[in-house]
Structure 1
Amino acid sequence: MRHVLVTGAGGGIGAAIADRFAADGCRLTLSDYRADELASVATGLREKHGVDVSELPGDLAEAAFAEELVPRAGKLDVLVNAAGIYPATPLLDMTAATWDRVQDVNVRAAMLTTVAFGRQGGPGAVVNISSGAATRARPGAAHYATSKAALEMLTKACAVELGGAGIRVNAVSPGFVTVDSPANPVTEEYAAAVSVNPLGRRGLPADIAEAAYWLAGDHANWITGAVLRVDGGSTAGAPSLPLHWDGQTAVQQGGHSHG
């Protein structure tokens, strides 16, 4: 029976990941700064799957809490760093405190938990939850996009240094996922703008949970340092754009435009 620690498990993607591992009979340790929501998720998993679930609520922005989370959980087989915050802050309104909190939760905490996981020794698997924002900036998300770009490089750096111990470190990069989260609310206008993709639907937390579960399992045992884009194809391109020239004319005249 694998022991799995999931951060950010109080709702949304983190809770869905916890549910997927619970369905496999795993022993779970869950963490989130929202203690009431975390307790509700834990109770639901116990009732639904009959698994052993422990709760370690706390704020991952506090270095001491992040450093001690893995030792408090006990010997782990899988660590999923799903905790993340994405406040909307226009660049000219950015403060050091706002910037630092996003980096502390989204990047530093994942580093500290992964270091602690590595000190336990392998074999094992770490899965970080990144975002399409790692490669594509947007207004109000300079801190968030930067944190996710850093998380993806952290994933690779940890894979390089921990591979010798049999610890694989990978990341899942979701596209827009429908999550009803009071901690990270989005408007419908924003959701409609960012959720266009070739497969024609918004992501579900379960889509990301399946990818995280797979990366942590034996079927991915020769994969490390990878970032799996689970985004309905939005990274591949934008299907809603019109043709930018008359196709018939282009066939007749030939040639290329390099604009």
Structure 2
Amino acid sequence: MSRPHAVVTGAASGLGRTIAEDLAAQGWDVTGVDIQADRLTQAAAEIARATGRAIRALVVDLGDVGAAAGAIAEAWATAPIDGLVNAAAIYPAIPYLELDAKAWTHVQTVNVTSPFFATQALARLALAAGRTPAVVNVASGAARRARPGASHYSTSKAALVMATQASAIELGAHGIRVNAISPGFFAVDSAANPVTAEYEALLSETVLPGPADAGSLAATVRFLLSDAARWITGAVIPVDGGSGAGTNRLPLHWTGTTAWQRASAAEEERS
């Protein structure tokens, strides 16, 4: 029996690389897609040493609107695709009043347009072959929570959530599932948007203690690609340590007893 084949975009670094390595370790054949040729080659070699499984490397610029479909076709030519993980994204922090149309368009193309058309290309190939792959998009908590310098990024991730749901609705009848994960803050090695220790500390405050768990994120992706998730589509699953639920870092906003507590105590005394 042939091994399942996954395509992971953004596989040269960050969460994409973590996901690619996890899938390889669990017996998947993996095709990694990234624009960073040297880092993708290095990642492929290191994953092979760590897992004993080689991954194919496709150097693709997903900032080119037509490149995503081409990457899917090239990967499919080596073996039918059972899983697609759209993890590639860019986040060049730019203040709102300095953001221009070129930067805006580039972020939208990489972060939402390319995942959409990669999914569409895969669906067309899969339908012709009578196969039912699964897709996982890597969204972000930024889709629901804006922050300075990220108007283009937050917008793209919100659009990616809707693209996930729209794709799920239209492809569900064909047995193709499309879901998303919504990570909290994960420190990644990004030359485009390095972060300060102060910024990382602020965004790393979560309900669950400890640093962000990339292993849990990768396992969630693997689950969504698996047959165990066969009744899940159009879902957006937070993998954020509880940060999307709220915060436990704020002090109580009252002192002493409240009016409600005093009235309740008085009523108890009368009864």
Instruction: Report the TM range for the smaller structure's normalisation.
Output: over 0.9
C-alpha deviation, 1:181, in angstroms: 2.8
Match of 2:158 among 149, 156, 159: 149
Match of 1:257 in 2: none
The separation in 2 between residues aligned to 1:30 and 1:20, in whole angstroms, is 12
Q: CA–CA distance in 1 between the matches of 2:213 and 2:98?
A: 32
Q: CA deviation at 1:177?
A: 1.1
Residues 247, 132 of structure 1: alpha-carbon distance in 2 compared, 3 angstrom cutoff? farther
Secondary structure of 1:63 counterpart: coil
Q: Do structure 1's residue 107 and structure 2's residue 121 form an aligned pair?
A: no
Q: Distance in 1 between matches of 2:64 and 2:247?
A: 39
Deviation of residue 208 (structure 1)?
A: 1.5
Question: 1:168-179, aligned counterparts within 5 Å?
Answer: 168-179=177-188
Q: How far has the Cα of 1:140 moved from its partner?
A: 0.7
For residue 145 of structure 1, what is the amino acid of its counterpart?
Answer: S
- Shift, 1:183, TM fit: 4.0
Equivalent residue, structure 2, for 1:19: 21
Name the stretch that deviates more: 174-183 or 220-229.
174-183
Residues in 2 aligned to 1:224 and 1:190: alpha-carbon distance in whole angstroms: 34
1:56 alignment partner, SS class:
strand
C-alpha deviations, 1:51-87, integer Å up to 9, x for none? Answer: 2411101210112321201000012000000000011
**Preserved CA contact (<8 Å) 1:25 1:49:** no
**Structure 2 CA distance for partners of 1:15 and 1:193, relative to 1, 3 Å:** same
Contact 2:133 2:176 in 1 (8 A): yes
The Cα shift of 1:186 comes to: 1.4
Report the counterpart of residue 42 of structure 1 in structure 2: 44
**Does 2:76 match 1:67?**
no
- Secondary structure, counterpart of 1:38 in structure 2: helix
List structure 1 runs of 4+ shifted beyond 3 angstroms. none
- Residues 30 and 54 in structure 1, CA contact (< 8 A), matched pair in contact too: yes
Judge conservation of contact 2:60–2:71 (CA < 8 Å) in 1: no
Give the corresponding residue for 1:219: 228
Q: Which amino acid aligns with 2:160?
A: L
The question of whether the paired residues in 2 share the 8 Å contact of 1:155 and 1:170 is answered with yes
Q: CA deviation at 1:182?
A: 2.6
The answer as to whether partners of 1:4 and 1:29 remain within 8 angstroms in 2 is yes
Tell me which residue corresponds to 1:91. Answer: 96
What SS does the corresponding residue of 2:244 show, helix, strand or coil?
Answer: coil
Which segment is superposed worse, 45-54 or 244-253? 244-253
Structure 1 residue 165 displacement after superposition: 1.4
Q: Identify the residue that residue 55 of structure 1 maps to in structure 2.
A: 57
Instruction: Confirm whether residue 238 of structure 1 aligns to residue 247 of structure 2.
Output: yes
1:79-137 deviation line (CA, Å, top 9, x unaligned):
00000001111110010001000000000000110001101123110000000000011
Offset of residue 194 of structure 1: 1.4
Kept in 2: contact 1:83–1:106 (CA 8 A): yes
Aligned length: 255
Which residue matches 1:252? 262
Which letter maps to 1:221? Answer: R
Task: Determine the structure 1 residue equivalent to 2:147.
Answer: 138
Q: Quote the offset at 1:247 in angstroms.
A: 5.1
Structure number with bigger Rg: 2
